[in-house]
Amino acid sequence: MNTVSKSNELMQLLNGENIHHQLSVPQLVEKILQRNEGILTSSGAVRAKTGKYTGRSPQDKFIVEEASSKDKIEWGKVNQPISEESFDRLYGKVLDYLQQKEELFVFNGYAGADRKHRLPIQVINELAWHNLFAHQLFIRPEDGELSGHDPEFTIVSAPHFKADPAVDGTHSETFIIVSFEKRIVLIGGTEYAGEMKKSIFSVMNYVLPESDILSMHCSANVGLEGDVALFFGLSGTGKTTLSADPNRRLIGDDEHGWSPNGVFNIEGGCYAKC
């Protein structure tokens, strides 16, 4: 997948004085507490409430119907189409909304632990705790990698912005929209942070098979002799629990790719650690 230039509006947003780039965990925790986004538990972890949505909102997830990708997608109840015009209009509204914020948070990293097939991503957040979530769940760049980091996909997350279904072409105030041509994931109307990681998984489900790699919703671990076990199942049915075997090394607990070189985690660790 070739990288495309960012829109002028997005570049203007990223260069604003209110942008915090690549904050560390302690810096993000400090911001979360300052902004009253969450509290610290007795163990020192951040606790935040997701409000109305305590899980994913599949009925509010869309893919932009675009010439370059529309014939490669199985359209239906899962992959719901939305027009380019609706996306562009809503994207402009969200960028205008974020321009008015006193602070925004940006994370640059990767999806895909296999360096040959990893996807450089960027995450722009309205909330500091969402940026902490991105920092924990995606693959963090090593020293020196940021200078050459050119994101191929950008998440723009504005959970407090609410869509107008009558105008914006959505089903509700909530929207999670992927544009494969513009390389944008647009999220609004929900504070459930898992929409970010699952949207990038959807992107990898599109990208990886084009490189003859099987993308899988499963957990995985490996034995001392290099034997890999995969655990498939719906969310909440025990993939994480089964993969956390004290006698085997954890590869990951939610999203993986299977290439000729082996099984690799799409994420930067284990969902359960969040």
Asked which of 164, 196, 211 is the last residue of a domain, the reply is 211
How many whole angstroms separate alpha carbon 238 and alpha carbon 248?
A: 16
Which tens digit of pLDDT belongs to each residue from 208-239?
999 999 999 999 999 999 999 999 999 889 99
Residue 36 lies in a domain: yes
Residue 258 lies in a domain: yes
For residue 194, the SS3 value is helix
Burial grade of 195 (CB within 10 A; 0-12, 13-18, 19 or more)? buried
Residue 2 lies in a domain: no
Specify whether 197 is located in the same domain as 132.
Answer: yes
Specify whether 129 is located in the same domain as 255.
Answer: no
How many whole angstroms separate alpha carbon 22 and alpha carbon 211?
A: 30
Residue 266 forms beta bridges with which residues?
none
Tally of domains within the chain: 2
Specify whether 187 is located in the same domain as 131.
Answer: yes
Domain CATH code at residue 15: 3.40.449.10
How many whole angstroms separate alpha carbon 107 and alpha carbon 98?
A: 16
Specify whether 180 is located in the same domain as 249.
Answer: no
pTM of this structure: 0.93
Is the pLDDT at 159 greater than 70, yes or no? yes
Which tens digit of pLDDT belongs to each residue from 96-146?
999 999 999 999 999 999 999 999 999 999 999 999 999 999 999 998 888
Domain that includes residue 134, residue range: 8-211
Residue 3 lies in a domain: no
